[in-house]
Structure 1
Amino acid sequence: MSLKCTVQKDDFIEGLSVLQNVTNKRGTLAILSNILIEATTNGLVLTGTDLEVGLQIFVPAEVDAIGSLTLPSKKIYEIVRESGSASLVIEETENSWVTISAGKSVYNLAGIQSEEYPAFPEYDEEGLVPLEAPVFLDLIDKVIFSIAGEQENIYSLTSVLIEKEKIDSVSYLRMISSDGHRLSIMEKDVAVDVDHLGIEDITLIPKKGIQELRKFCENRDTIDVSFSRKQLVVKDKRAVMVVRLKHGEFPHYRAIVQAVPMDNCIKINRLLFLESLKRINLFTEDVFHTIQLRIEGETMVLSSQNADIGNAKDELKVTYDGEPLTLGFNCRYFIETLQVMECEEVEAYINSENSPCLMRSALDKGFTSIIMPMQL
């Protein structure tokens, strides 16, 4: 039967806009740039996938005739966005074409038969566990900035490692990311028993999946979550997302953390340090963003040099009673770390001029950042 329905613009555009990041990706299969529209007795089900992330959204609609077909995701989104009508009528005609009527505007758009669209992954409804969405938001925000780019040869570094742990009957979720030059760790206690989550020893969520998971959690209080060996499922009453997980090795991050001695501490005002770094970064080389930190007594001197435009120097008051240190670091790594922290005073642990810098604070509970040094 040919699809025919009436849908409100605001409802439709909300669903279509969420799907854009999943479907608008250049790939080898042309149909992946389309969304699947299924008209059921209850309303519309919109589906988008890039074979790594699949997203299904329910949109209320008045359905005159049930059916399904696929339409170009970007073009249908643009049509609805620019429509001056509060509602749209979508009617399938011959050969998978549709007529879209929006007030006095009429559009004819070519689609592709729904039979060619990849099947949405199956999942077990009974395996879903309710979790607070803000927990995932906080975990993701503390680690997403240090995931390796897609050009990284070690593909596991283009993902986030997620772990579960119970300590004295308290359940924790932990996320870890690294691009090979820095390491970010964030853990939070959760109200549910993590034994019910099928998180394996090495469970890797790809960067695209993490980005879409973050968007899914926004403006939601709770979500239902399940992990299996192959996929992560998140769901609420109106949407479900399935992310294909990766498998492989991940750096032994615990050993890296334990290798940093915790007896040589520099205490720095976080916001003053961040502002100083942003000023100094104006004169770093574009590729490595190298800066020098000279720490002696209660003074830290930050400096940078660019062969083409000049140099900069800034000075900060710190709390430190160790031996003088002259250090080289990527300025951008410090900036991105300090931006996700919330404390007034950050504690930086640096043992020597060739050792990594570990940063944490009592206020940023569960968060640890390690940044590797650079040769000056």
Structure 2
Amino acid sequence: MKLIVEKESLLKVLSKVQGIADRKSSMAILSTILFKVLDSGIEISATDLELGFKSYVEAEVETPGALAVPARKFYEIVKDFPQERLILEEEGHYLNITSPGDDDVFFRLACLPAEDFPALPVTEEAGLIEIAGDLLAEMITKTIFCVATEETRFILSGIYMEQPEGEDVLRLVATDGHRLAMIDRQIENISSLNLNPGIIVPKKAAQEIKKLAQDIPILQFGLKDNHLIIAAPNMVLTARLIDGQYPDYRAVIPDVQENPVILPRQKLLEALKRTSIISAERYRPVAFHLNPGYLTLVAQHPDLGEAREKIPINYEGEEVALNFNAKYLIDALEAMNSEEVEFYLKDEDTPCIIKGPEDFGFLCLVMPMSSV
């Protein structure tokens, strides 16, 4: 194969596959990208056997061909290449990289046979609907922080997506057993996807979908053969879904919707970050002491000392003292946009509900800790 390609257009695609090509895999082929040169451009594919990505870049093709090219090294070479146009030429199992009219910079990169590269799922004839990229990115941002990281809780290691019965909305839910985040958004034609019962999208897939969604105004979204499909002009991402039944998250959402504590989000966020410096590293416990007119945050550690901070608030209720993992509250507040947030508190056996008027359709639950 031999072709000339613009550095900028090639680099855009190569940057998108870096999170998918699996550099740590024992299978060397999974750390490569399939570089397939067609008559008028390049089809670039990457996979870790769970995630798959395919995109197309226009190029001046002299000779078609295909190679499995090391993803990371090729990206680094292209990123730092001094010229804006590259000549890519196959020579045996090597890819030679130069530029037109200038042979001062030359790379020869060892590659693997294209036929060793795994086949990606077939996405033709999948039913797809349109979804705004920024909306999907927001929904993932407001749930992904609650995904379980413990390998023993495999069924919770992804984001649950469903269409609640009787509603024209897409719902995303994530929980690790100690906290839960949920967001609803109206999506046109959502019923055509048959998302009831729902699907579980792995965390890594959700992260890659979010990256794409942040850059692309309109995406296509659909399902086929136990894979989620995200498509856009000249690219498609496929994600193998997690098999299993997601827990009944509705059962843990308390019916506590009266007398919220109204708190300034940014002040609370900054105070939590400061006070949690003095706390146990693993659980980061911070005590919430609610009094009429103010909230006091207290963190204590037998070896480090104590931190205490007061925040003026509009609250005229009874005194309440609860303990929380500060990280859980920080994660929720950082994902929100509201200037003021609503905390619905009851006791240490009932999850705290966090909402905000500018975070439409979103809620987060955080379970209090039994003791500091």
Give the TM interval when normalised to the shorter protein: over 0.9
Aligned length: 368
Question: Residue 311 of structure 1 aligns with which residue?
Answer: 306
Please point out which of 186, 191, 204 is paired with 2:183: 186
**Residue segments in structure 2 that go unaligned for 5+ positions in a row:** none
Write the distance in 2 (CA, Å) between the matches of 1:214 and 1:42. 30
1:218 is the counterpart of 2:214: yes
Write the distance in 2 (CA, Å) between the matches of 1:345 and 1:50. 42
Please point out which of 172, 175, 180 is paired with 1:175: 172
Mapping for residues 125-144 of structure 1, pairs under 5 Å = 125=125, 127-144=127-144
Verify the 8 A CA contact 2:32 2:70 in the aligned structure 1: yes
Please point out which of 240, 247, 251 is paired with 1:251: 247
SS in 2 for 1:291: strand
Write the distance in 2 (CA, Å) between the matches of 1:290 and 1:322. 24
Q: What is the percentage of aligned positions where both structures have the same residue?
A: 30
Per-residue deviation at 1:301? Answer: 1.1
Verify the 8 A CA contact 2:147 2:158 in the aligned structure 1: yes
Code of the aligned partner of 1:348:
F
Verify the 8 A CA contact 1:260 1:356 in the aligned structure 2: no
Code of the aligned partner of 1:297:
P
Question: Residue 235 of structure 1 aligns with which residue?
Answer: 231
Report the TM-score, using the length of structure 2 for normalisation. Answer: 0.95
Write the distance in 2 (CA, Å) between the matches of 1:98 and 1:277. 52
Verify the 8 A CA contact 2:348 2:369 in the aligned structure 1: no
Question: Residue 59 of structure 1 aligns with which residue?
Answer: 57
Deviates more, 1:17-26 or 1:35-44: 17-26
Write the distance in 1 (CA, Å) between the matches of 2:75 and 2:358. 43
Write the distance in 1 (CA, Å) between the matches of 2:106 and 2:264. 60
Question: Residue 36 of structure 1 aligns with which residue?
Answer: 34
Question: Residue 281 of structure 1 aligns with which residue?
Answer: 276
Per-residue deviation at 1:288? Answer: 0.4
Mapping for residues 22-33 of structure 1, pairs under 5 Å = 22-33=20-31
Write the distance in 2 (CA, Å) between the matches of 1:105 and 1:271. 51
Per-residue deviation at 1:57? Answer: 1.3
Please point out which of 5, 8, 16 is paired with 1:7: 5
Verify the 8 A CA contact 2:348 2:367 in the aligned structure 1: no
Mapping for residues 36-115 of structure 1, pairs under 5 Å = 36-94=34-92, 96-102=93-99, 103=102, 104-115=104-115
SS in 2 for 1:22: coil
Write the distance in 2 (CA, Å) between the matches of 1:303 and 1:160. 33
What does the per-residue CA deviation read over 1:212-235, in whole Å, with 9 as the maximum and x for residues that have no partner? 000111221111111135101111
Write the distance in 2 (CA, Å) between the matches of 1:82 and 1:300. 52
Per-residue deviation at 1:260? Answer: 4.1
Question: Residue 162 of structure 1 aligns with which residue?
Answer: 161
Verify the 8 A CA contact 1:264 1:351 in the aligned structure 2: no
SS in 1 for 2:370: coil
What does the per-residue CA deviation read over 1:82-133, in whole Å, with 9 as the maximum and x for residues that have no partner? 2111111111122x22222233222222211111100111013451222211
Closer/same/farther in 2, CA of residues 263 and 218 from structure 1, 3 Å limit: closer
SS in 1 for 2:271: helix
What does the per-residue CA deviation read over 1:133-159, in whole Å, with 9 as the maximum and x for residues that have no partner? 12201111111111111x331101110
Per-residue deviation at 1:7? Answer: 0.9
RMSD: 1.6
Write the distance in 1 (CA, Å) between the matches of 2:309 and 2:106. 62
